[in-house]
Amino acid sequence: MSTQELSGVAVSPGQASGPVVRVAEPAGEPASGPPPDDPQAEATRIAPAAQAVVGRLEALAEAATGDAATILTTTAAMAGDPALVGQAEQLVSTERMPAARAVYEAANGFVQQLAAAGGYMAERVRDVEDVRDRLVAELLGTAPPGVPLLERPSVLVGRDLAPADTAGLDPALVLALVTEEGGPTSHTAILARSLGIPAVVAVRGLLALEAEALAVDGDLGTVTIADPDAAPVAAKAEAAAEWNGTGATADGRRVKVLGNVGSPADAEAAARAGAEGVGLFRTEFCYLDAPAEPSVQRQREAYAAVLEPFHGKPVIVRTLDAGADKPLAFLSHDDEPNPALGVRGLRIAFDLPEVLDRQLEAIAGAAADSGAEVSVMAPMVATAAEAAWFAERARAAGIERAGVMIEVPAAALAAREILEVSDFVSIGTNDLAQYTFAADRQLGAVAQLNDPWQPGLLRLIAMVGEAARATGKPAGVCGEAAADPLLARVLAGFGLTSLSMNAAAVRAVGASLAGVTFDECAAAARAAVAAPDVPSARTAASAAVSG
């Protein structure tokens, strides 16, 4: 490959070229000494610094709307978290650390917990690191990391973008986003799609590339050195057409467009976006901060708050996705050499079925309280026997409709047998890619293997679609792959009956499906699975629906 071109993971479509502006890097690890002369006075510096950062983030949130405002507000809340501030103050007092170092150490403790949790919670690590770096800069009196003031349309380049940086971007001034780290499920990817900004992530060697201007292809995932004297060019993806709110192809083939949620705020955002229901309700939020297992009543109330915006609509609740790799006090297991492949998800319920039974009781109660049409599904299922065991317990708890997640290759290969004992399946493409390619989805160095356009992954998904047709039962996708409007057409072409995604993608996906017939979707699916690699799969699918 020419040294003039790099490749990464295409996460937001469109093409653009223009001058490069680099994102400011964090100051780095603050010094651990010398110890303060007056630890008590040094500790009192932390809370005002946190409030200063909170104030700036809240001001940005007030000027933003939609998902951007939500992300900025959430980041502000993290910056002012009493637990973070209190722990840092304690480190100054007891360990005689400088304030900046104490904040750094305290925040890293939270980072380690989230990283150990894996999956969705591990994706929040970047949020905490951003808050940490802003607090450290405030205490040191240095410029905060992040996006500088843009004076002209530019291509934004950096190691990664923090959620608050991404949320504050002006699409009129940001031609494209390119990062060396990140992946298909990162905030950069999600917000770039919602703002209509072409983006490529996981571009190895990007920061070493000496270029005054870059051309970015958010469809093919390429980054090329451009002429710095040429006028900026923006050929962003076409804005989504109007969508009538019913997920279907142009000829009436029904494909439900649903939301992924993990909190009451997520549920409200999905409802506002027009989601027809919820395809993935992550229940972990109810457990992560709990020193002991939450009571059935507490769980019931927490779940009902999420279900409320979807009264009379379908909601699929995923049972607790926890285990040896997740630091939940009431789920104690011996240390495992490889927790990602250990006792997690449904597997922990085989040893502690009473925890699952209490959660199912709470879910059934929340369904009655909210009026939502609730189904449940289990994570990390590998065999039909496991699926049957879960379905039996769910029905015993009064939940009539029970399914499972397809997250490991064995489940995709046994999809027909699993569907024979389940009411539906839902494909978690993020984990299915991770396990298929043996590539940690949080690691930028292997992010290209987690690209949802990988033909190997698409072929597994196609097998699940075939099993669904053979058994006459529904199969959906609730991973980030469903948020790509073009890939959504391919997934529909496999015969999948629902697509579930973050709120920002709902309307674009609904409009994309409405713009093509099912036969065109099927042609795109055939073209994609026959392709030898990611770029050709994307190109072939696009040609099939536009030729």
Answer for the pair 427, 497: CB distance below 8 angstroms, yes or no: no
What confidence tier does 405 reach under pLDDT thresholds 50, 70, 90? very high
478 classed as catalytic: yes
> Which of 286, 311, 333, 478 is labelled catalytic?
478
Q: Rounded distance, CA 104 to CA 122, Å?
A: 18
Do 119 and 141 touch, CB atoms closer than 8 A? no
Give me the catalytic one of 187, 286, 333, 521: 187
b/e for 288-311, b at 16 or more Cβ within 10 A? eeeeebbebeebbbbbbbbbbbbe
Q: Residue 332 above 70 pLDDT?
A: no
Average pLDDT over every residue of 99-127: 79
Beta strands in 9-79 (DSSP E): 9-12, 14-22
Decide if 521 is catalytic.
no
Q: Report pLDDT for 135.
A: 93
- 187-221 pLDDT tens trace: 778 778 877 889 999 999 999 998 999 999 998 89
As a whole number, mean pLDDT of residues 286-304 equals 88
The answer to whether residues 419 and 399 touch, using CB atoms and an 8 Å cutoff, is: no
Over residues 333-350, the pLDDT tens digits come to 666 777 778 888 899 899
pLDDT score at 1:
37
Q: What's the pLDDT tens digit per position in 138-180?
A: 999 988 888 888 889 999 999 888 777 777 788 889 999 999 9
How much is the average pLDDT of 431-450? 87
SS3 28: coil
User: Across-strand partners of 174?
Assistant: 154
